[in-house]
Amino acid sequence: MRPSIVTAVFLSWAVAAACSCNASAAAPDAFAAQRLHMVESQIVSRGVADPRVLEAMRNVPRHLFVDRSLWDRAYGDHALPIGYGQTISQPYIVALMTERAQVSPGDRVLEIGTGSGYQAAVLAEITDQVYTIEIIEPLARQARDRLRALGYRRLQARTADGYFGWPEAAPFDAILVTAAPDHIPPPLLGQLKDGGRLVVPVGPPGLVQTLWLITRHGDRNAFENLGPVLFVPLRRR
Ligand code: SAH
């Protein structure tokens, strides 16, 4: 199995224990029934319960974030390729990361690894302060165009190495990293508000990584292991 294809597939189910700001994204479409089924059978069934997260997952038209040739697989229980060796994460992982980051309306949230823009759109269904960083220019451009066309106009996107975060927009209530570094990037920890949450997969490229929830309490951090995952590696320029 190539790691790029299985990105963000959760390897163990053991852990699985509002502002809808975008009218266009919420409009019914031919895939609405598949989306409802996805939420019930993959996400609710594995223990994700935050109503805002579930509503966001029901609203965002996931098929529009992958190539048309993959539309019939867009709501399946897996990651899918988005070009450049990268992937859109499995729906459950997107929901789990959003729930565990405890994203609420009004929160300022940073995502590292825009990819298709799907995770950013899910975040933008919950709060209007979403910042996202992508290192591969053509992916960043595509995602920006797509998100704008879908009505996520307040979302801020930039092309850069996300290892360094977005200092001018910091501090953040939550930071989600959707590519795996081999250590926790200190700049990201430094850009959390007091009480802020960092959700990040950490581990060697291509091998099983650990998804961490790190909560900042003053100058101390609390670590919670959310289980084994497999993401594409965080690249460095
Ligand atoms: N969140 C995405 C999927 C992420 S795949 C979605 O919802 O579709 C991981 C993404 O992280 C890839 O697009 C990859 O190019 C990007 N990436 C890897 N290293 C990065 C870095 N240092 N800074 C920013 N983005 C990075």
Question: What pLDDT shows up at residue 215?
Answer: 98
- Worst-scoring range by mean pLDDT, 22-36, 46-60, 73-87, 110-124? 22-36
Q: Report the pLDDT value the prediction gives residue 161, as an integer from 0 to 100.
A: 98
Q: Which atom of ligand 1 is nearest to the CA of 116?
A: 8
| Side-chain-side CA neighbours of residue 176 (13 Å) | 31
Q: Radius of gyration over alpha carbons of the chain, in Å?
A: 16
- At residue 109, φ and ψ (nearest 5 deg) are -125, 140
Cα separation, 60 vs 120, whole angstroms: 10
Compute, in angstroms, the gap from residue 142 CA to the centroid of ligand 1: 13
Is residue 1's pLDDT more than 50?
no
* pLDDT tens profile 163-218: 999 999 999 999 999 999 999 999 999 999 999 999 999 999 889 999 999 999 99
φ/ψ (deg, to 5) at 197: -120, 135
Q: Which of 12, 41, 89, 116 is catalytic?
A: 89
- Taking the C-alpha atoms of residue 208 and residue 185, their distance in angstroms, rounded to an integer, is 18
Kindly list the protein residues whose Cβ atom lies closer than 6 A to any atom of ligand 1. Answer: 7, 86-89, 112-113, 115-116, 118-119, 133-136, 139, 161-163, 178-179, 232, 234-235
Half-sphere exposure of 236 (CA within 13 A, CB side): 7
Torsion of CA 145, 151, 154, 160, to 10 degrees: -20
Q: In this predicted structure, what is the pLDDT of residue 79? A: 97
What's the Cα-to-Cα distance from 3 to each of 33, 85, 149, 208, 228, rounded to whole Å? 30, 9, 31, 10, 14
Alpha-carbon distance values, 143 to 21, 117, 133, 154 (Å): 18, 5, 11, 14
The residue to mutate among 118, 152, 232, 237, having the most atoms of ligand 1 within 8 angstroms of its beta carbon, is: 232
Query: Which of 6, 82, 92, 136 to probe ligand 1 with, by most ligand atoms within 8 A of CB?
Result: 136
* Residue 27 confidence (pLDDT): 55
Active site residue 89: yes
Is pLDDT of 112 > 50?
A: yes
